[in-house]
Structure 1
Amino acid sequence: MGSPALPSDGAQDDAHLRETCLSTELVEQGKFLQWRRDRVQLPDGREAVREYVVHPGAVMIVAVLPDGRLVMERQFRYPVGMTMIEFPAGKLDPGEGGLACAQRELLEETGYRAQRWAKAGVMHPVIGYATEFIEIWLAEGLTLEERHLDEGEFLDVFAASQQELEDWMTQGRLTDAKTIVGMMWLQQWRAGAWQPDWQDVATTG
């Protein structure tokens, strides 16, 4: 997938848009999230306050079974009070790379190991109030082992076809933003508009 055209005539200077941090304050430290309040200087010289959540980053895995169906999860998400249909995903541990995290999360949550992996891209799901980014990974060559959920983690694992997921999206049953973005990459790949850069990874150990 090529880079989108800029709205200008090619100039990439964004100095007239940038905000500069003047001071930062830790408002609250949670188990793995921070809430910060910064004082910033606007491009016109005035000052403003920006409040945001610091997130360690995460990965999402579009895992393809031998029959072409996708590995999916159903999980209750407390902030929205709903059970959501999602691709497997999880947050990065300190110092952990994206691929290592994707391998770990896929095994822990679903019990699957994958032989082939390819990074599709990165998304920023909540740019207005959080630093969170999500790396999107594709996985093939799956073998099923035993999953190891974290304490207090409850989720169902099931398989669904691309058509089923597309239908659920149009029906409003699948509304998770990261999963919808993962579907975009899957559709581009299967349509031949984009080719993943696959790498083989040992499935033992």
Structure 2
Amino acid sequence: MEEKTIEREVIYQGKIFDVEKHVVSLPNGNTSVRELVYHNGAVAVLVIDESDNIVMVEQYRKAFESMSLEIPAGKLEKGEDPVASAERELAEETGYSAESLEKIFSFYGAPGFCSERVDVFVAKGLSAGEMNLDEDEFLNVKRYSFDEVVDLLDRGIITDAKTIMAIQWWQLSRLK
């Protein structure tokens, strides 16, 4: 069921992602066009404090012109180790370092056209430090109890997919 690339055209090369157009040969012998976004990947961190609260960040997202409540996250630099990236993003966005940082799952958010894989970690055993945001990054750190997070989900306040999946993992892990 593999699709083999016959032609490849680079449409855009950017700082965060590249876009290509591929003409592919389909398993039935026909051809089709695929518009693909290539991304280095990203990490996200479910941050749980000593009181079993989740730490999230609130920031404006230009793509949908609104504030978003999310777990800390960021893109991988080319060749960067996901664990190192998760540690960096945790420190940059929250000021915390973690005694324990464990990978809990990975996912592709839009596999029909995008190569971005997000590795999600859980951080526990927090030590406070200084936030070190990128110069174009503005956010507020928020802390919520389990019940508050469930309420935010129920009211549609949390709409970010990586955050919803991490919270669902957190909910399931509490049942064990």
Scaled by the length of structure 2, what TM-score is found?
0.97
Q: Which residue of 2 aligns with 1:187?
A: 171
Q: CA deviation at 1:23?
A: 2.1
1:152 maps to 2:144: no
Task: Look up the equivalent residue of 1:65 and give its one-letter code.
Answer: D
Which structure has the larger Rg over C-alpha atoms? 1
Q: 2:87 aligns with which of 103, 110, 118?
A: 103
| Other structure's SS at 1:44 match | coil
Task: Look up the equivalent residue of 2:155 and give its one-letter code.
Answer: Q
Aligned equivalents of 1:41, 1:185: Cα separation in 2: 39
Task: Look up the equivalent residue of 1:55 and give its one-letter code.
Answer: H
Q: Which residue of 2 aligns with 1:72?
A: 56
Q: CA deviation at 1:184?
A: 1.6
Larger strand proportion of the pair: 2
Task: Look up the equivalent residue of 1:98 and give its one-letter code.
Answer: P
Consecutive unaligned residues in structure 1, runs of 5 or more? 1-16, 193-205
Q: CA deviation at 1:18?
A: 2.5
1:175 maps to 2:154: no
1:163 maps to 2:133: no
Question: Which stretches of structure 1, 4 residues or more, deviate above 3 A after TM superposition?
Answer: none
Q: CA deviation at 1:32?
A: 2.0
Q: 2:72 aligns with which of 66, 88, 94?
A: 88
**How much identity, in percent, do the aligned residues show?**
38
Task: Look up the equivalent residue of 2:120 and give its one-letter code.
Answer: I
Aligned length in residues = 176
Q: 2:10 aligns with which of 26, 46, 51?
A: 26
| Other structure's SS at 1:21 match | strand
Is the deviation greater in 159-168 or in 82-91? 159-168
1:144-194 residue CA offsets vs partner (Å, 9 max, x unmatched): 1001000111111110112211111111111111101111211121111xx
CA RMSD of aligned residues (A): 1.0
Aligned equivalents of 1:105, 1:132: Cα separation in 2: 17
Consecutive unaligned residues in structure 2, runs of 5 or more? none
Task: Look up the equivalent residue of 1:132 and give its one-letter code.
Answer: E
